[in-house]
Chain A
Amino acid sequence: MTDLLELEGLRVSAGSREIVHGVDLSIPAGQTIAIVGESGSGKSLSMLAVMGLLSPPLRVTGGTVRLAGRELTGLPERGMRAIRGSEVAMVYQDPMTSLNPLMRVGDQVVEAMTAHGVAKAEATRRMLELLARVGIPDPKRTARAYPHEFSGGMRQRVMIACALAMRPRLLIADEPTTALDVTIQQQILALVNELRRELGMTTIWVTHDLGVVARLVDRVAVMYAGHVVEDAPVRQVFAAPQHPYTARLLAALPDPTDDTRPPLAQIPGRPPAPGEIAGCPFRPRCAQAEPRTVSGADTASRVACWVPPAEWRS
């Protein structure tokens, strides 16, 4: 299998402060992966870098992004615009801020296609099909509605229609269900999952919640303080996490089958500010930390930890 998306040593900075510190990630065509991390871990910034959507003072300061072998870093905005939407599309957490409030929803889906050279009549026909496919009732009538007339779930369905209009090869879903109710979240997850399979799309789920992606993805990359600290098949991540941070993050979730309801596992301390710590960024919060972790995280391995799991797992 060839890699559809390759990140190599990707660095993102805000002004002179580096926030994403050399992320390596390769995603084979057709695979579904999750990038999991808490606020400030750099997961969304890395994906915005892929989309070429970082706005100053944020910028890529090192490394490469390749899509199907093609170098995206350094591509002029016009070239990026041709790729965005047609090759790679993104669905965001809050559709209210990414849909145009002054434009009818049908027109927004149409524009997602005409921007890439599809004729208006053809785009309109496909728009009605798409709205029906994403579960919007009575597309002919609802296409004329404005975003504010829709519920959060319906808006997210419109966003998905926009994102999939050009049948992109790569879909990045950035917390698309965080703002939704659980029954609606379930509907949207199921919908994206079906469409992914139908279209054979490579998919990246960006989330802070490991639970949401457990049954959706093949692989999980865990990010912490601008580093990928673990990258492994989903079953392995849940059954035998190799990085102490991953293990702690999993333990912090309540176990829905435990009737004794013990206190939730905490991770003492807070993530470091960018540049605050040399070496392993998790060291100050890690019960397993050793002196050598000061000398720099092992970025060659897919688990960035000096201490073998057998030594810290009880």
Chain B
Amino acid sequence: MLRATNLTKQYPVRGGDGVVHALNDVSLELGDGETLGVVGESGCGKSTLAKLLVRLEDPTSGRVELDGVDLTGLRGRALRAQRRRIQMLFQDPYSSLNPRQRVGSTLREVLAVHRLGGDARGRERRVAELLELVGLGAQLADRYPHELSGGQRQRVGIARALAVEPSVLLLDEPVSALDVSVRAEIMNLLVNLRDELGLSYVFISHDVAMVRHISDRVAVMYLGRVVELGDWKPVLDSPEHPYTSALCAAVPVPNPELAQPIQATVIGEVPDPANPPAGCPFHPRCPRAEDVCRQTDPPLLELRPRHTVACHVAARTAVTQ
């Protein structure tokens, strides 16, 4: 349904003539009712990916298609009509809600802009419906964002995204700013809405535990590329790429009985995307790096059915097995 093909995004370096490769040849597909988890750390390109998918920005090259319609070529009214179908939810709804607008008015405005909900009375009804859908009482329509808790604000953010009846939601770190107990509520709400309304999600997060909880498939990103992609269980529980292994092993396990000490699973930090290393972008931090990794960027190969990995060492091991 949503398909990104060879998406690349480069930004010029301020005050220089170089470019930052924010996104490098990324191809992804999202099926009907499916949740694709995108996991990676700062600078891996996951937020750039989100911006390109909703066409807040144009890719340097590559295509984004929704049900066969190429979004990258659309302008004006045709773009607006398609854009309605993909909505985005941000980490901090506080910064994306107008502080001087009551919740109800925010939602009514979205309906009015997109000519939805019929007349004023119809919109009023729809606002109440939307609030109820996300587990808020209709009386919350009269509140301002600052009068709401973090969890309630995130629910308003979800209601606003759902107001235009999208088929795809792009969730960019939707629970990262929330307390543990509120996080659980919002995760449950997202799962329920997906199943009830038949929505598809792109769930972008640095939180491996949450990605594992909600995703059907998972894409692991590093320095602007997808380095591993497949069904959630093989990717996160028996990863092939050394970066995925390191990332999963770094997730704190809520179990004091585990014997092994807290240990750094990967050394160093993510390289500067304006000056990426030669060969595999992960090789300077990789415990399994070999000569070939320092010279050649590994292609993304299907090592097992529905499981692709960009790693020379993993590819060779898979062949010899």
Contacts and interface: CB of A to CB of B under 8 A. Distances in A.
A215 B256 contact: yes
B191 interface: yes
Nearest to B258: A215
The 8 A-B residue pairs whose C-beta atoms are closest, nearest first, are: A264-B184, A181-B41, A211-B254, A252-B184, A186-B250, A38-B179, A187-B264, A254-B213
Interface string B204-215: 001111101110
Nearest to B232: A261
A266 B269 contact: no
Interface of chain B, main secondary structure: loop
B265 A186 contact: yes
Interface in B93-147: none
A190 interface: yes
A214 B181 CA distance: 18
A244 to B, nearest CB: 12
A98 interface: no
Contact of A253 (B180, B208, B261): B180
A247 to B, nearest CB: 12
A75 interface: no
Given A181-B41, A252-B180, A252-B184, 14 more contacts: A38-B181, A39-B179, A153-B269, A183-B247, A183-B265, A184-B269, A186-B262, A186-B263, A186-B264, A191-B264, A211-B253, A214-B258, A256-B251, A264-B183
A249 B180 contact: yes
Contacts, number: 121
A249 B256 CA distance: 16
A176 to B, nearest CB: 13
B213 A183 contact: no
Contacts of A189: 252, 262
B264 A254 contact: no
A112 interface: no
B250 A256 contact: no
B255 interface: yes
B209 A190 contact: no
A216 B262 contact: yes
Interface residues of B, number: 43
Interface of A: 38-39, 151-154, 181-187, 189-191, 193, 208-212, 214-216, 234-235, 238, 248-250, 252-254, 256, 259, 261, 263-267, 270
Interface in B188-222: 188, 191, 206-210, 212-214
Contacts of A186: 250, 252, 262-266
A259 B246 CA distance: 21
12 contacts: A39-B179, A184-B41, A189-B252, A210-B254, A214-B256, A215-B258, A234-B256, A254-B187, A254-B212, A256-B209, A259-B233, A264-B187
Nearest to B207: A182
A266 B263 contact: no
B252 A265 contact: no
B180 A208 contact: yes
B17 interface: no
A142 to B, nearest CB: 13
Given A182-B41, A190-B263, A266 B181 contact: yes
B83 to A, nearest CB: 31
Interface in B234-249: 246-247
B206 A182 contact: yes
B210 A181 contact: no
Interface string B168-184: 00000000000111111
B246 A183 contact: yes
A284 to B, nearest CB: 14
B191 A263 contact: yes
A252 B246 contact: no
Given A151-B269, A261-B213, A214 B188 contact: no
B291 interface: no
A188 B206 CA distance: 17
Contact of B181 (A152, A234, A248): A248
Interface in B267-282: 267, 269-270
B254 A214 contact: yes
A193 B184 contact: no
Contacts of A151: 269
B181 A249 contact: yes
Contacts of B266: 183, 186
B41 A214 contact: no
A261 B261 CA distance: 27
A208 B262 contact: no
Contacts of A182: 41, 206-208, 247, 250-251
